[in-house]
């Protein structure tokens, strides 16, 4: 039986590669910086596909209620993408993961406001928006986008998800 002969450099390289690979994870675990133009980028990247964009803050009780509702209901509709955007500028990644994990929303796309002047981002998202939360956008497979301010009603959410799930062809 022949033993593998690794020199110290190759062994170190192998170990580093394995450590880095173990820390790399799915695209959903990455937290993206939400800057001017990001909302349009999200819309372009998800054309012809049903998705939900939810804006929330860690100190918004209604936001936490709505995130919990999404975590509960989206299990039945795994093909509908949820895009989570926290409006707390530069909120720590650990805190974002913690909050979303507590709401069963581990595998969602995550964004965080990355501008000290959040008003610029508010205006870029919707000209009349002043930061009221929760704010949710529902984009159907037909690219029609509906804006909803406040906590969504569970029945309305389930009805929309059911309708959109039926339109997904795969």
In a domain, 4, yes or no: no
CA-nearest of 63, 54, 62, 68 to 125 is 54
> What local confidence, expressed as pLDDT, does residue 28 receive?
65
Element (H, E) at 164: helix 154-167
Question: Tens of pLDDT along 53-92?
Answer: 999 999 999 999 999 999 999 999 999 999 999 999 999 9
In a domain, 17, yes or no: no
User: In percent, how much of the chain has pLDDT > 70?
Assistant: 82
In a domain, 104, yes or no: yes
| Rounded-to-integer distance, Cα 170 and Cα 168, Å | 6
pTM of the entire predicted model: 0.82
Q: Predicted confidence band at 170 (pLDDT cuts at 50, 70, 90)?
A: low
Contact 144, 49 (CB under 8 A): no
Q: Predicted confidence band at 7 (pLDDT cuts at 50, 70, 90)?
A: low
In a domain, 159, yes or no: yes
Residue 91 DSSP label:
-
In a domain, 12, yes or no: no
| Rounded-to-integer distance, Cα 164 and Cα 170, Å | 13
Specify the long-range contacts of residues 93-100, CB closer than 8 Å, at least 24 apart: 93/31, 95/58, 96/31, 97/29, 97/31, 99/58, 99/64, 99/67, 100/67
In a domain, 158, yes or no: yes
| Rounded-to-integer distance, Cα 166 and Cα 106, Å | 24
Number of structural domains the chain divides into: 1
CA-nearest of 56, 72, 61, 82 to 149 is 56
Residue 101 belongs to domain spanning: 27-167
Q: Predicted confidence band at 20 (pLDDT cuts at 50, 70, 90)?
A: very low
Question: Tens of pLDDT along 98-113?
Answer: 999 999 999 999 999 9
- Cβ-based neighbour number of residue 141 at 10 Å: 18
> What local confidence, expressed as pLDDT, does residue 168 receive?
72
Residue 33 token pair = 């910086």
* β-pair partners for 27: none
In a domain, 55, yes or no: yes
In a domain, 135, yes or no: yes
| Rounded-to-integer distance, Cα 135 and Cα 39, Å | 13
CATH value at residue 66: 3.40.30.10
> What local confidence, expressed as pLDDT, does residue 169 receive?
57
Q: Predicted confidence band at 5 (pLDDT cuts at 50, 70, 90)?
A: low
> What local confidence, expressed as pLDDT, does residue 25 receive?
42
Greatest extent of the chain over all pairs of C-alpha atoms, in Å: 73
Instruction: Look at residue 138 and tell me whether its pLDDT is greater than 70.
Output: yes
Instruction: Look at residue 124 and tell me whether its pLDDT is greater than 60.
Output: yes
């Amino acid at each position: 039986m022949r033993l593998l002969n690794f020199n110290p450099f190759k062994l170190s390289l192998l170990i580093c590669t394995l450590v880095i690979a173990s820390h790399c994870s799915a695209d959903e675990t990455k937290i993206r910086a939400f800057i001017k133009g990001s909302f349009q980028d999200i819309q372009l990247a998800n054309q012809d596909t049903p998705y939900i964009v939810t804006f929330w803050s860690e100190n918004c009780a209604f936001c936490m209620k709505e995130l919990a509702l999404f975590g509960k209901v989206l299990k039945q509709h795994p093909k509908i993408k949820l895009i989570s955007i926290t409006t707390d500028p530069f909120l720590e990644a650990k805190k974002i993961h913690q909050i979303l994990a507590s709401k069963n929303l581990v595998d969602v796309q995550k964004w965080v406001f990355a501008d000290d002047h959040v008003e610029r981002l508010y205006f870029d998202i919707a000209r009349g928006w002043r930061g009221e939360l929760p704010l949710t956008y529902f984009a159907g497979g037909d690219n029609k986008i509906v804006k909803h301010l406040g906590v969504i009603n569970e029945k309305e959410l389930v009805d929309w998800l059911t309708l959109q799930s039926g339109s997904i062809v795969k």
